[in-house]
Structure formats: C-alpha cells, structure tokens
Amino acid sequence: MEVIIQRDYQQMSRVAAQLVVDVLNTKPNAVLGMATGSTPLGLYQELVRLHQAGQVDFSRVTTFNLDEYVGLPANHPQSYHHFMDEHFFRQVNIPRHNINIPSGTTSNYPAFCQWYEGRIAECGGIDVQILGIGSDGHIAFNEPTSSLSSRTRLKTLSKQTIDDNARFFEHREDVPVYAITMGVGTILDARKLLLVASGKTKAKAVAQAVEGPVTSMVTASALQLHRDAIVIVDEEAAAGLTMREYYEFIYAAKPAAPRT
Ligand code: GLP
C-alpha cells in the first residue's frame, strides 16, 4: 500500500485528481469507480476544473458508483444519484449511458445486484476505484463485519453510519436504514484503489485501515490485500499513523510523484 500525506484537504484532492488523470491519459476509455460522501468533493471539483481547462476528456469513460440508499429515488436531494449529478456528471462529458449507479428503488434487489456485478464485468472491470472511509473504517457501505469477499448486495447501515450521515438529512429518522453497495470483494477486483481521507474524525479509521490487522471490523483494512492501493490523507487524517516518516521517505524518492 502506498500512503501519501498532504498538508491539507485541497492538496489531498489535487494529488488524488492527478492520479485519476494519469489513468485517463494512459487509457482514455477507462472505467472509473466513483464514491460519494463529502471527502471526494474536492477531487471531483479538481477533475471538473481540469476538464474545463481542456486537460482531461471523459467522452470515452464509463463509471460505476459504489452505493446508493435504498428507498431514495434518483431525484431525491440526498440520493447518491443526485449527489453525483450535481457535483460531477453534470459538469463533465461522460455519456449518460456510460454512467452506472446502483438503483435505490428496484423491486428486485438480488437480481439488480447480480446485474450490476455482470455489467462491471462486461465493461472490462474497474480501472481505478475512488474510495472514502467511514469513521468506523467502512468503505462504500461495507459496515463492520461485512465479509471481505462480499459482492454487491443490500446492507443494513450501522448506528454509527446513520449518526454520521444524519447531518445531510432534516431528521435522523429520515436516514435510510438500508443501502445497496458494492462488496469488499467487488472493490478489491478493481485494478487500482484510491482512498481519500481528511480531518481528525478519520484519523483512527485511517490508522486501523493502513497499519492495523486485516479485519472485517474495519473493511478498509482489506486494501492491504490489494496490490495497487493508494491512500491519500491530509495532516489531520494522518495523525494516528506510526510509519509516517517511512511513507514520506518513499513519496519523496518517487521520481514521477506529483509535487506540491
Ligand atoms: C458514506 C459512503 C462512503 C463514504 C462515507 C464517508 O458512508 N457510503 O462511501 O466514504 O460516507 O463520508 P464522508 O466523506 O462524508 O465522511
């Protein structure tokens, strides 16, 4: 696993966006795995900026989102469909039919999940999967105790996640209890993983994911099993890491590494 520590959120977002652009430069028809949550917003803003500056083209890109709340229609302001439209898809040139997001309103979840997995495979698999991390160490909506080989499925949200995400809803009771999410196994199948984390509320989860044991109690720790996983954090999110000097030494010695 590669750990990149940046001074602040903006710089973390820039470095992450550049890594996505690097993938698109070598493979213009890459399949991108998208994440929601507040953390990747800066990364998306930077990709939009680079697109508007003519430095990156998305016309051949296909995307797959990690997850969606069950029960929220695509036009619901808190749905991940709406989030992605608002913050990214509306501002870049990805063809509509190349955008895939789990449905929160299908009448047959098992069939839909199987279809979603099949569709990822049909498109050649995910080249780079963007990830955030929950304060309990989850990736997508793979809550503690999720199998590390799980596939796309319906998942019950933990109390911690409901509490964390309540800030986006009017009342805590409005937060959906279920979500449809790619599994940890689905995520590990991506060719490259890019996890971004910012702020002190993520410091413990980041330390557990990067330096703790691989455990289903912290599903982000499964990144340790991946051969090309990059974790980009800001100072606050890096606070619990014990091997910091080592990560910085490696990053400084890397010739092609983006510089601040
Ligand atoms: C939700 C999403 C995750 C995201 C997490 C953290 O649980 N399903 O994909 O990583 O929130 O979100 P934030 O970046 O807002 O802290």
Digit-coded pLDDT (tens) for 154-195 = 999 999 999 999 999 999 999 999 999 999 999 999 999 999
Q: What burial class does residue 12 get, using C-beta atoms within 10 Å of its C-beta: 0-12 exposed, 13-18 middle, 19+ buried?
A: buried
The pLDDT confidence band at residue 102, using thresholds 50, 70 and 90, is very high
Q: Does 132 sit in the ligand 1 pocket, CB within 6 Å? A: yes
How high is the pLDDT of residue 258? 52
Strand 31-34 with 192-197, pairing: unpaired
Strand partners, 130: 194
Q: Whole-angstrom Cα distance, residue 188 to residue 227?
A: 9
Give the predicted TM-score (pTM) of the model: 0.96
For the CA of 66, the closest atom of ligand 1 is 9
Tell whether the model's pLDDT for residue 131 goes beyond 60.
yes
| Binding site membership of 219 for ligand 1 (Cβ less than 6 Å) | no
Residue 260's pLDDT is 44
Give the residue numbers marked as catalytic.
67, 136, 138, 143
Q: Is the CB of 66 under 6 A from ligand 1?
A: yes
| Closest-lying ligand 1 atom to the alpha carbon of residue 161 | 7
Q: What is the pLDDT of residue 255?
A: 75
Rounded distance from Cα 38 to ligand 1 centre (Å):
7
- The CB of 175 under 6 Å from ligand 1? The reply is no
Q: Is the CB of 36 under 6 A from ligand 1?
A: yes
Residue to probe by mutation, ligand 1, list 36, 66, 129, 153, most atoms within 8 Å of CB = 36
Query: Of the ranges 86-90, 179-183, 198-202, 253-257, which one carries the lowest mean pLDDT score?
Result: 253-257
Spell out the residues 6+ positions from residue 37 whose beta carbon is closer than 8 angstroms to its own: 132
